[in-house]
Amino acid sequence: MARVQIVGAGVAGFTLTRELIQRGYRGEIVLCDPQGLPYDRPPLSKALRREHFMPASWYAEHGVHLRTEAINDPALPEAADEWLVLATGSRAKKLTVPGAEHALSLHTADEAELIARRLDQGMFAMPVAVIGAGLVGAEFASAARQAGAQVTLFSASSAPLARVLGEEMARELHAAHRRNGVACVDAAVTEVGPDYVVAAGQRHEAALIVAAVGAEADTTVAEGLGLAVDDGILVDDAQRVIGQRQVLAIGDAARRVDHPRAVHWEAAMDDAAIAAAVITGQPAPSRKIDWFWSDRHDAHVEVVGDFSRASSHISRLGRRGNLEAVFGLDSAGNLVAASMVDGGLLSKALRRLMDAGVSPTAEQLADPSVGPRELAKAGRS
């Protein structure tokens, strides 16, 4: 019988399941994850809350076999209508300083719920140390501050995420922590204790310590199967694992050959839609330009494209002198990346332009009177 076995039920594994159903796939779908009913990760660091994609009844209704178990050595498909899809995602990197075991990690729903309980049980203005000011660390620092904690954020850099947001935006957003009552220590943490953190030789008291020092692809299953792995399971443009016909890899765990590994929600959804098309033999949707968002304090931050491809930047200031957007241009002057604060319409216009391979001019990008609608038109002229 035709069968798809999906290992991992994060947004990639879940979206593949939904896409297969929507595309009328008639075979058996087996979705396995030891974490149980699939849930969405972004709300974990913003609200410390578990949000399921669908209730258990949805899977039953559509005949999906949802298995709460880890599959560590799945069989490689033998028949022409059998597929194995690895959607094993990423896992939190470990802090490696003395006493690191005293810091909690924030990557799974169980970890988010444990941290939420500790915050609830703590006194008002509980001293909280957050180690790492990347996307997850910055969002959690903001959520803890909003919950009334006295937060100290430790970052080895004063512009964390510069390669992701563009240097100017990274600096601005990091500085915004201080304006929102978060104490920032821009120095590497060298030691952690049960109720303290040491950085730059200074000891900082903390009743709760959370480490968010990045994530890495979880390739354990792929490596066990002897599949091609290099900072992610190596796949082609159709998400096929290199050298395999019926083994696909999607989401954070996968990396397309000659591309950086995409580690965002939207990219995982794109991978899943392409994989579903491959399995059902339908035309694959085109891959969209990279896009992700992050919420911290009162700012909704969006990033389109890839700043690692930019050789120069243009900043756009708002009427009050605030930094609204940073644009990254390649050496030929084409727009390859943009980061913006509360710029929903701008982000939409730029995504559309970049998906179409069209670039506004540097002058248009620099001119704050050229709004999203004009930019979209400008790009066409």
Ligand X SMILES: Cc1cc2nc3c(=O)[nH]c(=O)nc-3n(C[C@H](O)[C@H](O)[C@H](O)COP(=O)(O)OP(=O)(O)OC[C@H]3O[C@@H](n4cnc5c(N)ncnc54)[C@H](O)[C@@H]3O)c2cc1C
- Residues in contact with ligand X by CB under 6 A are 7-13, 32-35, 41-42, 44-45, 70-72, 87-90, 106-107, 136, 218, 221, 251-253, 263-266, 268, 292-294
Measured from the Cβ of residue 260, the count of other Cβ atoms closer than 10 Å reads 13
- CB burial class (10 A; 0-12, 13-18, 19+) of residue 280? middle
Residues in Cβ contact with 146 at an 8 Å cutoff, skipping those fewer than 6 apart: 297
In terms of CB distance, is 129 or 272 closer to ligand X? 272
In terms of CB distance, is 35 or 334 closer to ligand X? 35
Contact between 39 and 50 under an 8 Å Cβ cutoff? The reply is yes
In terms of CB distance, is 174 or 359 closer to ligand X? 174
Smallest gap, in angstroms, from Cβ of residue 106 to ligand X? 6
Would you mind telling me the total number of residues written for the chain in this entry?
381
Angle value at C-alpha 276, between 270 and 277, nearest 5 degrees: 95
Smallest gap, in angstroms, from Cβ of residue 124 to ligand X? 25
- The SS3 of residue 184 is strand
Smallest gap, in angstroms, from Cβ of residue 380 to ligand X? 28
Residues in Cβ contact with 140 at an 8 Å cutoff, skipping those fewer than 6 apart: 45, 48, 106, 115, 130, 210, 212
Smallest gap, in angstroms, from Cβ of residue 360 to ligand X? 25
Smallest gap, in angstroms, from Cβ of residue 262 to ligand X? 8
Contact between 66 and 59 under an 8 Å Cβ cutoff? The reply is yes
Q: How far apart are CA 201 and CA 52, in angstroms?
A: 43
Residues in Cβ contact with 212 at an 8 Å cutoff, skipping those fewer than 6 apart: 45, 92, 105, 106, 130, 131, 132, 134, 136, 137, 140
In terms of CB distance, is 150 or 294 closer to ligand X? 294
Residue 225 tokens read as 């199967």
- CB burial class (10 A; 0-12, 13-18, 19+) of residue 125? exposed
In terms of CB distance, is 10 or 328 closer to ligand X? 10
In terms of CB distance, is 141 or 198 closer to ligand X? 141
Smallest gap, in angstroms, from Cβ of residue 227 to ligand X? 13
In 3D space, the residue among 117, 110, 106, 197 whose CA is nearest the CA of residue 152 turns out to be 197
Contact between 84 and 76 under an 8 Å Cβ cutoff? The reply is yes
In terms of CB distance, is 198 or 346 closer to ligand X? 346
Smallest gap, in angstroms, from Cβ of residue 30 to ligand X? 11
In terms of CB distance, is 268 or 346 closer to ligand X? 268
Smallest gap, in angstroms, from Cβ of residue 92 to ligand X? 7
Smallest gap, in angstroms, from Cβ of residue 271 to ligand X? 8
- CB burial class (10 A; 0-12, 13-18, 19+) of residue 310? buried
Q: How far apart are CA 359 and CA 376, in angstroms?
A: 9
In terms of CB distance, is 38 or 328 closer to ligand X? 38
